[in-house]
Every structure is written in C-alpha cells, then in structure tokens.
Structure 1
Amino acid sequence: MGDERALASWLLAERRAIEAALARALGARRPAAASAEAEALRRLRSYAVAALVHGAQASPALDGVAAEPARVEPLLRAWLDACAEVAGSRAAAVRAALEPALARFAHALRGSEGARRAGGVPVRSSRRAVPAAIDRVADPFLAIETDTGRIADANPAAAALLGARREEIVGRSAFDFVPEACREALWSELDAVAEAGEARRFATRLCAPDGRPIALDARATRWSTRQRTLALLVARPTDEGDAPLA
C-alpha cells in the first residue's frame, strides 16, 4: 500500500467507493445523513486522513458530536471493513494501518463531552463566523460547518431566499432546508470541500420553511480556522430545467 501518506491519498481518492461499500454492508442500518452517528462517521474519515499524515499527535475533532459510543462503534468497524473491501488484495495492510487511528477515535469518542451528554445542543456564539462583508454579496451566501452541517453564517440574500430572518437560520442545520432526496449528495459535496480542499460546483435544491422548492446552482470553497472548517457556499437560483439536480 506504500507509506502512510500514500494511504491517506488513497482514502481520499476512493472515498465514494468506500461509502458505497459501507452503504451496501449496512443496508437498512445505515444512519440518516443528518444523524449524530453519520456525523461521527464523517469525523472518523477526516481524522483517519489526518492521523496517517500527522501521526499520533493528530486529535479527533469531536466538538458538537452528540452520539452514543455504543451505537457508533459498530459503524466504525463497518467503515474499516468497507475500506478493506475496496482495497482488495491489500486489505490486510489497510486494516493494519487504520486500526490504530480507529482505536484512538473510539477512545476519544467514549471520553468526549458529547458522548456524556448525548443529544445535547452546543452553545451558539454570537460572533460572525466569517467577515461581515458577506452581507454585501449579492447572491445568497451560506457558511456551513463541514463536520456538523450547521449554518455558521448567512447573508441577507440567503435569508431572503429562504423567506426568513438571518437570526432564524444561523445555528440551524443546513439540512433542515434540504429535501431528503438531496441530502446524501450535499453531504458528499461538503466532504469533498473539507477533506480534499476541492472547490466544487454542483446543482442542488433547498426547501423554504413554507415548502417552496428552490433549485440552485451552487459553488463551494473551503475556509479553515484553528477551530473548524467551513464550506463557503454561494448559490444562485435556477430554473428547474437549467441543470440536473443532485
């Protein structure tokens, strides 16, 4: 399999294949895209790459993960099995390389504040997540936390698009405004922004609180601080026929 950096690159390149193998293995047990268990799996994927590149000094980012370890740990093993399946003849080497990261992640999850208060809600900050200059952006703009899916910031155009005040959408899950059929595809786009640093352009839908569907042409880029990684999403409403929607 090569060195650990090569394995990290392989995990990123094969992300979709691993997700597909995991979905097949879990079947009906697959967690919903916006669930705490699915969030923990996304954190594991990001941590596994960081641990391979940086070694034991990399720490799992578990802020805001309110998942019960007993429900998550079987999913972590299933993810490792999916990696091994995709690796084929290199399965044993992949397992051996990823086992330490998996064990550290599971240990950190068991001791996390979120595990102790599973179902708790993190305290919101009143500070702007990104510079207030976004308010002058004409197109709808959302800053979305890539690990939780929460809306960290929004401009007036985004609030107007959704027919709500900015204060009513900041702090909520972006997936509260995304139809169920589009959620998995949007999570995949956020993962690509967070894990590979890719600038993305894609079509998706939102759903306003009044039930009005909104077709969008979206562009997303990564913006990172020491505390978190955001997907900066600029969206332009389109006609339904302009592009195939995720």
Structure 2
Amino acid sequence: MSLVNFRDSAFLSDPEGLRIRPGVLYRSAQPYPAADEAVVAQLRSCDIRTIVDLRDPRETRPADWVAAEEAGIAVVAAPVNPATDALTARMATMTTAADLGEFYVLLAESAPAAVTAAVEAAARPGAVLLHCAAGKDRTGLLTALLLDLLGVPAERIVADYARTADALPEIFANLAERHRTALNAQGPTRVTDSDGRHLTIPAPLLEAPAEAMSVFLARVHTHHGGAAAFLPACGVPAATLGAFLAKAAVAAA
C-alpha cells in the first residue's frame, strides 16, 4: 500500500520553482500497515534516500520500515514527543486552531535534539522524506521550518500544511485500525497510552487548520527570528544549514 498524505513539499509551497528545488523534500503519514514493495517503489521513483521518522518509539513497530532499509534507504529516528509539563498543560487547554499553533511552538522548542537530527538528515544527498503518524503536526512543523529557511512565503507554507486535511479520513481510519482507537467517534476522542493513562485528544489535533500553521510561523518569527535563527539555537550546525541550502535552494539567477 502506497504512503498516505505523500507529496513533494515544493508542489504547493513553491510551484514556480523560485525557492526550493522540486524532488528534494517530501512528507507523508506513517507506513500502513508497514512499508512494502509498493512503498519502496514509491520512494525509489522520487530518489528518496533518507527517511526521517519523527514518531515516539512507542508509536513504531519493528516492521514499519524494514522493506525500505533492505532496499538501501536510510531511516533516521528523530522522535519529537517530549513529555513536558508545559506541553501537557497546553494539551489540556487546547480548544482552537491558534492553540494548536502555540502547541507547535512549544513542541519545537522542547525537542532541539530531534529538530537537529531531522535537519542533519534532510541535508544528506538525495531526497528526504519526513513523516510522523499522520504527517501533519510534527511533520508539519519540521517541514515549515525548512521551507521558512528557504524563504518560502508563509501563506505558501500554510497551504502545504492545510493540504493534509484531504487525507485525514484515510489517515484516521488507518490509525484507528492500528491502535484500536475510534478516532472518528462523536464527542471528545479518548485513547489509552502505553502506560495505561486515559487521554483526550483535543479537537484541533484532529484537523489541519490553516490558522494553526499561520500562528506557528508568526510565533517562530516573533520569538526566535525565523527558522534561520531558531534552527541554530536548537543546535543545528552552520555547516548543516549550508549543506541543506546548497542542496534544496534554487540558485539565484
């Protein structure tokens, strides 16, 4: 089964090809039920040589990317899922799309090592695929930071993020089957985590609202000076940023 929510981030964010080279930065949801020959063919057709898995280890299964690794495609684990008091508090009070955008900021700020590992992987030769479970939240914020680094306008980054809404029914059906959770149930969606705790998923997390990404980008610029300043603050070396820009940026005429 081919990857769901799979696309080249240059498609919507820079259709004129002015800032990011096509065929460099891809995004998707997690493989379901696991990578197979169809997924490997999909990756190879795009020259994807590196996969960045942003999921927490508790979300993964050993077989998820075996077929890809056997085909010579590198898989880099960069889990963006820190359990901090600030994130827990934000989850408990999240009701709006703007709240979700603020949550993305906290999530990125709380995972500097994962952000650094993801950018280092994205700077490797060949195309890179970023993914989490849905290919929306963690994938969305990492993709947004890389596109912002390349100078893609905020409204284009938002459009790329919001495109995930089209795939959410299939994504949630897959997640519900995998985790035996009724993600499309009426009312607050409740799940049980690996520690047996009952959690409620806030409604904005079940959507891909454009406002969430707009708020995230605005806050990154207001509080951190944009991706060009935020990524080094996370620990991304200047040489890594240079390598990614050399690979992904469109050369000035």
Which bin holds the TM-score, normalised by the shorter protein? under 0.3
Give TM-score, length-normalised by structure 1.
0.26
Larger Rg: 1
Give TM-score, length-normalised by structure 2.
0.25
The answer to which structure, 1 or 2, has the higher relative contact order (CA under 8 A, 6+ apart) is 2
